[in-house]
Structure 1
Amino acid sequence: MGQVTVFSGPERRRRWSNEERLWILAEAFAPGACVAEVCRRYDISSALIYTWRRKLREAHTEPASDHLPTPGFAAAVLIDEAEAAHPGLQPAIVIDLARGKRISIFDSASSALVASALKALR
């Protein structure tokens, strides 16, 4: 005759309400909090917390607007050296982004700083 093992106790797959999820997320990502400690306290995977956070961010992001201009080529304008009275005060590159944002890069910026700024735009 074979042996049968019966597992009793709470169901392993738990259902978390939206309020509980928000409470746990607020606790896990509070300043000075440790996500791993919060996960241990509630006996959940850290991947689950990050999944909840990603879904919450996706639910609260603005949809891409259709009226934004499509990317295209920018016109290059050459300025005579005589007209540039203060070359350190004017930006070397100006990047206009969607929704009226603008990034200015000056001649004095280091190449590492410019590279990190451009990587952040991706």
Structure 2
Amino acid sequence: MEIINGVERRRRWRTEDKLRILAEIDAGARLAVVARRHDVSRGLIWQWRDAQRRGRLVVETPSFVPVHVVSALPGAEAMERVGGASCPGDALEGERSVEIVLPDGTRLRVAENIGAAALRRLLLVLRG
């Protein structure tokens, strides 16, 4: 049994769970029976099937992202003097990179070609 409390009243289904439920139907189980078993509406399952057919419902494979730790970042004055271009000892020097500044002042510099899934995981970790 899943208890939903607080402001959010809807369940958030993981992609893996959606695909597992769809696999039951693909194996020959009736949609209505599977929907009842998992306590999900048939209409939502149809939406998942449509998303799967269009290639929008896929599990992102885990990947590693290089992280470079520096002992200290220059102060705001130093960043203004160099135009925010790079930090001393920047490991991404020579590569095209993107710097992301979070509302709390945290700066994250990543390679330009970082994958969306990897960036999403990094931001989730940083937001804590």
Question: What's the TM-score, normalizing by structure 1?
Answer: 0.38
| TM-score relative to the length of structure 2 | 0.37
- Structure with higher Rg: it is 1
